[in-house]
Amino acid sequence: MTSSIATHLPAAVAMASAPASADGFLALAWLLVALPLAGSAILLLAGRRADPWGHWLGVFASAASFVVGLVMLIVVLGRGSGDRVVDLRLFRWLPAGHLNVDVGLRIDPLSLTFVLLVTFVGTLIHVYSVAYMEHDGDRRRFFAFLNLFVAAMLLLVLADSFLLLFVGWEGVGLVSYLLIGFWFQHTPNAVAAKKAFIANRIGDMGLLIALMIMFATYGAVDFSTVLGGAAGVSEGTLTAIGLMLLLAACGKSAQFPLQSWLGDAMAGPTPVSALIHAATMVTAGVYLVVRAGPIYEAAPTAQLVVVIVGAITLLFGAVIGCAKDDIKKALAASTMSQIGYMFLAAGLGPIGYAFAIFQLVTHGFFKAGLFLGAGSVMHGMDEQVDMRNFGGLHRYMRITWITFGLGWLAILGVPPFSGFWSKDKIIEAAFVGEGWRPWVFGSVALLGAGLTAFYMSRVFFMTFHGEKRWNDGHSATPDTTIARSAVQHPHESPRLMTWPMIVLAAGSVALGGLLSIGGAFTSWLEPVTGGVEEHVPVLPVWLLITLTLGLVVAGLWLAWRQYSQAPVPVVAPAGSVLTRAARKDLYQDGVNDGLLVQPGQYLTRSLVYGDRAVIDGAVGGLGRVMVRLGEATRRWQTGYVRSYAATMTIGVVALVAVVLATQI
Amino acid sequence: MSLTNYLVLASILFAIGATTVLLRRNAIVVFMGVELMLNAANLMLVTFARIHGDLSGQVMAFFVMVVAAAEVVIGLAIIVQIFRTRRSASVDDVNLLKS
């Protein structure tokens, strides 16, 4: 059976269906999840006693996990590329009739890539947070949640079944909720947390339904069975599973139409935005799509929908990013747009998987770096986030300026920075194909590159260049170009904050190029994603690179002229229709409100009304009828013994009469 | 003596007893009405026992007498208690079950 399927499948799937079992150091993979989980438990249970040292325990747990991951990488690299997929069965979790689910971990190039990204960036952000959250009384709780996040995220990527993946999936959703609402004392934060949670919940429903279809179809939910048996199942079922998984991915990765929560999620502390809402958690959707690759390959409709969702979100995020004045929200829109690129690539099939993950890794570095830079700026500017009140900060924050600048060049896709190597490949891959698809998706990817250049340059120039638009306390006559806020003393952040930024900036510069040498990264992922055959784009590659770079330079020049050379108004101008729409997230909240929230509220209100009128009316009416009946009949109960006796007598006489009458 | 006479007598006694129970207020008199009804029933039982030549009717009458005696003892005790507490033996005064 297995061999007959394997002959029809690509090499990657055949290998995935027969993973080696873990031995040696790889059998310790559970430590990856257990270490941060233990750290989180200690921090949460120890209470205030852990306040003085809790944050360092958090850093240690995360760093230890990274070291374990690094050693595992070395061990796995030491194996042949044929047996780099390793399954580690831990224990039987759910023995329930036909459904037997084991808790097991799958160590393969894809999960190891994620493990290293999550633990490395995670550890840097832990270190950064030590300084960033220094003046917060709840720093220990913050680190407990961060550790819990690392544990849940690692469980998500290491799981060897969709059900265990779901546990991690819910775990990161929970931590995301807890951390967006970390400063829950302030109502908008709590509301933003709830919004993120509910939007994610819609996606989670999709994952649950996908799990149910899988169980109904295969009788199992582990990767080997589900992905290995994809070829023998009808296309309709696979399309259903694919679309449901996509719904889950959209919720988690803030893709259209479930993207509205990500902007509000910026209410959380900046390290959270960097780690969870930029580098790792929001990319879990891409992981899911790439992991479920064999399903999508057998269901072209679902695959096409993935590309379309990616393309829409790509433009959506980019347009929103062009109009946002809040530095974190502009970066959030950019995250949305960049993940759109990853979805687009992931939807292109095996040709795009490796580039989707590649973009994910480089993006994890430069976007985390950009967010940490934004956090550093906010740290120096009294938690200001409005870029219209920044300007000229490059003189005051040298390190932040340089590291942010390197991240900016990386996200623009300027060679030889990281983003170039991944994004350019995605654009090339988008131009591969037949018919209308390469033209539409390729043009969207190209246009996105230009828009990215514009809005990221806008963020960079508005923050660090141009005239300073904050009150430094020296201007004699405060005029309208200076924000009427308190006196600001921008200053560079402490070393604990700048070092992580420097490391991430170094990654933004070099990682993409290093991993591209000889196609190192794509061949590393090959056991999971399958081999990438050579495809020829519909346009020559040199033309595509020229076009991309041309658009990037155009976007950069426009932003430079408008936000560095010309004065930036402190109060946002009214702007065009598109600008106003983009400021309001292209009316996504309004659409959600009109399409879902209002009808939902109307439905609940009418249900409440129905409940009161019909159900309560029936129940209450029955009660009232009984009361009336009782009031009428109680008159018969006079309390006089004689009347009772008379009733009895009359009754007996009547009974006897009836009996006699029937006998005659 | 024919059967009819016994039956008519018993019926008359029973009717008198029932009317007494229903119409009189004094508990003692009501009690006497009850006794009258019981004895009417006894008379009927004995009559039929005689006619059928079967003693079980008479045995039944004995049972009724025994039960009636027990009932009188308890009933009178209750009436005396009520009279002591309420200074009245009227059954209409004992309507605490209402309200």
Q: Do A640 and B95 touch (CB under 8 A)?
A: yes
Strand, helix or coil for residue A540: coil
Quote the CA–CA distance of B27 and A566 in Å, as a whole number: 114
Quote the CA–CA distance of A497 and A382 in Å, as a whole number: 16
Q: What pLDDT sits at residue A7?
A: 38
Per CB-CB distance under 8 Å, the chain B contacts of A638 are: 95, 98
Per CB-CB distance under 8 Å, the chain A contacts of B94 are: 641
Tell me: pLDDT of A272 over 50: yes
The mean pLDDT of A178-188, rounded to a whole number, is 89
Asked if B94 reaches chain A (Cβ–Cβ under 8 Å), the answer is yes
Quote the CA–CA distance of A210 and A230 in Å, as a whole number: 14
Side-by-side strand order, sheet with A99-107 = A20-21, A86-96, A99-107
Enter the tokens of residue A413: 């896709």
The mean pLDDT of A405-434, rounded to a whole number, is 88
In chain B, residues 43-82 whose CB comes closer than 8 Å to chain A = none
CB-defined contacts A:B, below 8 A = 28
Asked if A637 reaches chain B (Cβ–Cβ under 8 Å), the answer is yes
Asked if B91 reaches chain A (Cβ–Cβ under 8 Å), the answer is yes
Per CB-CB distance under 8 Å, the chain B contacts of A641 are: 91-92, 94-95
The mean pLDDT of B15-35, rounded to a whole number, is 90
The mean pLDDT of A534-546, rounded to a whole number, is 83
pLDDT band at A15 (very low <50, low <70, confident <90, very high): very low
Residues of chain B with pLDDT > 90, as a percent, come to 59
Q: Of A638, A639, A649, which has the smallest distance from its Cβ to B18's Cβ?
A: A649
Q: What pLDDT sits at residue A154?
A: 93
Q: Of B18, B92, B99, which has the smallest distance from its Cβ to A640's Cβ?
A: B92
Q: Select from A376, A591, A558, A563 the least CA-distant residue to A452.
A: A558
Quote the CA–CA distance of A313 and A305 in Å, as a whole number: 12
Q: What is the ipTM of this complex?
A: 0.82
Q: Of A642, A646, A649, which has the smallest distance from its Cβ to B91's Cβ?
A: A642
Q: Do A639 and B91 touch (CB under 8 A)?
A: no
Q: Measure A608 CA to nearest chain B CA, in Å.
A: 40
Q: Of B21, B30, B95, which has the smallest distance from its Cβ to A639's Cβ?
A: B95
Q: Give the residue from chain B lying closest to A636, CA to CA.
A: B98
For an interface test with B, which of A631, A634, A641 has the most B Cβ atoms less than 10 Å from its Cβ? A641
The mean pLDDT of A489-512, rounded to a whole number, is 87
Q: Do B99 and A639 touch (CB under 8 A)?
A: yes
Backbone angles phi, psi at B26, to 5 degrees: -65, 130
Asked if A649 reaches chain B (Cβ–Cβ under 8 Å), the answer is yes
Between residues A389 and B45, the one the model is more confident about: B45
pLDDT band at A17 (very low <50, low <70, confident <90, very high): very low
Q: Measure B66 CA to nearest chain A CA, in Å.
A: 23
The mean pLDDT of A451-463, rounded to a whole number, is 91
pLDDT band at A654 (very low <50, low <70, confident <90, very high): very high
Q: Measure A622 CA to nearest chain B CA, in Å.
A: 24
Q: What pLDDT sits at residue A484?
A: 52
Exposure class string for A486-511: b at 16+ Cβ within 10 A, else e? eebebebbeeebbebbbbbbebbbbb
Q: Of B18, B23, B94, which has the smallest distance from its Cβ to A641's Cβ?
A: B94
Tell me: pLDDT of A243 over 90: yes
Enter the tokens of residue A265: 């999620």
pLDDT band at A244 (very low <50, low <70, confident <90, very high): very high
Tell me: pLDDT of B30 over 70: yes
Q: Select from A556, A313, A549 the least CA-distant residue to A427.
A: A549
Q: What pLDDT sits at residue A11?
A: 41
Q: Give the residue from chain B lying closest to A647, CA to CA.
A: B22
Per CB-CB distance under 8 Å, the chain A contacts of B21 are: 642, 645
User: Which helix (H) or strand (E) covers residue A107, if one does?
Assistant: strand A99-107
Q: Give the residue from chain A lying closest to B17, CA to CA.
A: A649
Q: Give the residue from chain A lying closest to B26, CA to CA.
A: A642
Average pLDDT of chain A is 86
Place of tokens 């196609």: A519
Exposure class string for A320-329: b at 16+ Cβ within 10 A, else e? bbbbbbbbbb
The mean pLDDT of A114-126, rounded to a whole number, is 92
pLDDT band at A662 (very low <50, low <70, confident <90, very high): very high
Q: What pLDDT sits at residue A156?
A: 93
Q: Of A637, A638, A645, which has the smallest distance from its Cβ to B22's Cβ?
A: A645
Residues of chain A with pLDDT > 70, as a percent, come to 94
Place of tokens 């950069």: A556
Asked if A48 reaches chain B (Cβ–Cβ under 8 Å), the answer is no
pLDDT digits (tens, 9 = 90+) for A36-88: 999 999 999 988 888 888 889 999 999 999 999 999 998 888 887 777 888 88
pLDDT band at B14 (very low <50, low <70, confident <90, very high): very high
pLDDT digits (tens, 9 = 90+) for A576-613: 888 888 787 778 788 888 888 888 899 999 999 999 99
pLDDT band at A486 (very low <50, low <70, confident <90, very high): low
pLDDT digits (tens, 9 = 90+) for B56-92: 999 999 999 999 999 999 999 998 998 898 888 887 7
Q: Do A642 and B23 touch (CB under 8 A)?
A: yes
The mean pLDDT of A142-156, rounded to a whole number, is 93
Q: What pLDDT sits at residue B1?
A: 64
Cα–Cα distances (Å) from A195 to A80, A178, A317, A434, A585, in that order, read 46, 12, 18, 40, 15
pLDDT band at B99 (very low <50, low <70, confident <90, very high): low
The mean pLDDT of A485-505, rounded to a whole number, is 83
Asked if A635 reaches chain B (Cβ–Cβ under 8 Å), the answer is no
Q: What pLDDT sits at residue B58?
A: 92
What is chain A's Cα-based Rg? 31
Per CB-CB distance under 8 Å, the chain B contacts of A639 are: 95-99
Q: What pLDDT sits at residue A12?
A: 42
Q: What pLDDT sits at residue A13?
A: 41
For an interface test with B, which of A636, A642, A647 has the most B Cβ atoms less than 10 Å from its Cβ? A642
Q: Give the residue from chain A lying closest to B25, CA to CA.
A: A642
Q: What pLDDT sits at residue A25?
A: 80
Between residues A438 and A471, the one the model is more confident about: A438
Q: What pLDDT sits at residue A578?
A: 80
Asked if B25 reaches chain A (Cβ–Cβ under 8 Å), the answer is yes
Q: Give the residue from chain B lying closest to A644, CA to CA.
A: B22
The mean pLDDT of B37-52, rounded to a whole number, is 92
Asked if A646 reaches chain B (Cβ–Cβ under 8 Å), the answer is yes
Asked if A484 reaches chain B (Cβ–Cβ under 8 Å), the answer is no
Helices A162-180 and A235-253: angle between axes, nearest 10 degrees:
20
Tell me: pLDDT of A481 over 80: no
Q: Do B97 and A637 touch (CB under 8 A)?
A: yes
Tell me: pLDDT of A232 over 50: yes
Asked if A21 reaches chain B (Cβ–Cβ under 8 Å), the answer is no
Asked if B86 reaches chain A (Cβ–Cβ under 8 Å), the answer is no
